[in-house]
Structure 1
Amino acid sequence: MTAMAHEPDPTQEELLLESFLALETPEGFKAELIEGEIIVSPAPDGDHQDAIDLIVVQVYGRSRVPMQQSGNTGLILPRGGLCPKNHAIPDITFAPRELRLFRGAPAWMPCTGVAMVAEVTSTRPQGDRVAKRHCYARGGIPLHLLVDREEGMVTLLSEPVAADYTEVHAAAFGKPIALPEPFGFELETADFA
């Protein structure tokens, strides 16, 4: 009689990731796995979408390098918290058009090649301000733009090292904020107010 090989029981981290990936999110909602917490968010309001549009229009019209963007692509980011990988859906993800990063990409893709992610605060502003900031830094995403509607501020985080960004530049709504290369222009923020 031969002994059957016993597969090890899945870890809590593996079970969490498996449960997250099996979620059937209701239409109009998005689900993310951030620092060991499954977050389901409702569709954003019109002001949120307007802020996203203001960013996209400026990036497309003023960037020194042609960009492409996605508002629906999930990024797989390095380990943090209790989960083997974080799974975040930025409000906007930008990459140089020449990379064609989003063509044929799966629903959850690695963050290699991403030039900037942008978040506009909504129902869970602390998640946008803190948890996602650390996830994006761990992923080595060069630029993270945060439009904080409650605070009336735009913050550009750059120079990721380990789990945070080492450069932080903030401007009140109405003051421009410089986006470095490959963007190479000042983002106008007056219409965010």
Structure 2
Amino acid sequence: MVSPREYGDGVDAERALKYAVQRVRGGRAEVVEGVIDPLSYGWDHERTRDVLRAQLSGAAERLRCVAGSGDLDLPGSPNWYVPDLAVVPESLTRGAGALVPGQTLLVAEVASESSAETDRIVKRRRYAEYGAPLYLLVDRLERSVTLFAEPGSLGYTKVDGPHPFGTVVRLPEPFDVDLDTGGL
């Protein structure tokens, strides 16, 4: 990837890249470490997201939040993510474009063959760096769930898991929910 410094004439490469990814024809895309990644999910991936959303819907409603997959900008980096699921305060969603990970209460990614290494390593590091308080990794390849908490510049300092599918995973405050991973 060409770094922003390699462009002349005052072009802001980060801004140009993020502008372009928001205008991808035919669907959604994200930028991971400067590479545009078109998003295309299989039905099993969609089903897993729906199971998660259904289990979090009561807590999201109680917390006056929205559970969805809106855009997350990581300012100062060549990253623009579309998480599989994020829970964000409803007040931040009205008229909003992209939010930043620190505005979420939880971000979840469902790892599949095409995204596993990115979800396990890159996104985990970046979500922590940008302050997402909770990162839930549902790893369909490993058939496990891991909850990362207490973000910092060097990553998450608290890890709960990996737990095999079928284990009940407790989501801490403000959720205070037992996540049934049996149906994932």
Do both proteins adopt the same fold according to a TM-score greater than 0.5, normalized to the shorter chain? Answer: yes
Pairwise CA distance, 1:78? 4.6
Does structure 2 conserve the Cα–Cα contact (< 8 Å) formed by 1:145 and 1:157? yes
Pairwise CA distance, 1:129? 0.8
Task: Tell me: CA distance 1:175–1:85, structure 2 relative to 1, closer, same or farther (3 Å).
Answer: same
Match of 1:76 in 2: 73
Does structure 2 conserve the Cα–Cα contact (< 8 Å) formed by 1:52 and 1:120? yes
Task: Tell me: CA distance 1:62–1:110, structure 2 relative to 1, closer, same or farther (3 Å).
Answer: closer
Match of 1:40 in 2: 37
Match of 2:84 in 1: 91
Percentage identity across aligned positions? 35
Q: Tell me, yes or no, if structure 1 residue 65 matches structure 2 residue 63.
A: yes
Pairwise CA distance, 1:85? 4.6
C-alpha distance in 2, partners of 1:86/1:11?
17
C-alpha distance in 2, partners of 1:125/1:104?
32
Match of 2:179 in 1: 187
C-alpha distance in 1, partners of 2:6/2:99?
23
Match of 1:21 in 2: 19
Does structure 2 conserve the Cα–Cα contact (< 8 Å) formed by 1:70 and 1:102? no
C-alpha distance in 1, partners of 2:80/2:159?
24
SS at match of 2:103: coil
C-alpha distance in 1, partners of 2:166/2:133?
24
Instruction: Specify the code of the residue in structure 1 equivalent to 2:164.
Output: A
Task: Tell me: CA distance 1:185–1:177, structure 2 relative to 1, closer, same or farther (3 Å).
Answer: same
Match of 2:29 in 1: 31
CA RMSD in angstroms, aligned pairs only = 2.1
When normalised by structure 1's length, the TM-score is: 0.80
Which of 133, 147, 166 does residue 138 from structure 2 map onto? 147
Deviates more, 1:169-178 or 1:58-67: 58-67
Task: Tell me: CA distance 1:140–1:16, structure 2 relative to 1, closer, same or farther (3 Å).
Answer: closer
Does structure 2 conserve the Cα–Cα contact (< 8 Å) formed by 1:77 and 1:138? no
Give ranges in structure 1 of 5+ residues lacking alignment: 1-9
Does structure 2 conserve the Cα–Cα contact (< 8 Å) formed by 1:68 and 1:96? yes
Which of 165, 169, 172 does residue 164 from structure 2 map onto? 172
Task: Tell me: CA distance 1:39–1:163, structure 2 relative to 1, closer, same or farther (3 Å).
Answer: farther
Quick one: higher RCO (CA 8 Å, sep 6+), 1 or 2?
1
SS at match of 2:80: strand
More helix per residue: 2
Instruction: Specify the code of the residue in structure 1 equivalent to 2:83.
Output: P
Instruction: Specify the code of the residue in structure 1 equivalent to 2:58.
Output: G
Pairwise CA distance, 1:186? 1.0
When normalised by structure 2's length, the TM-score is: 0.84
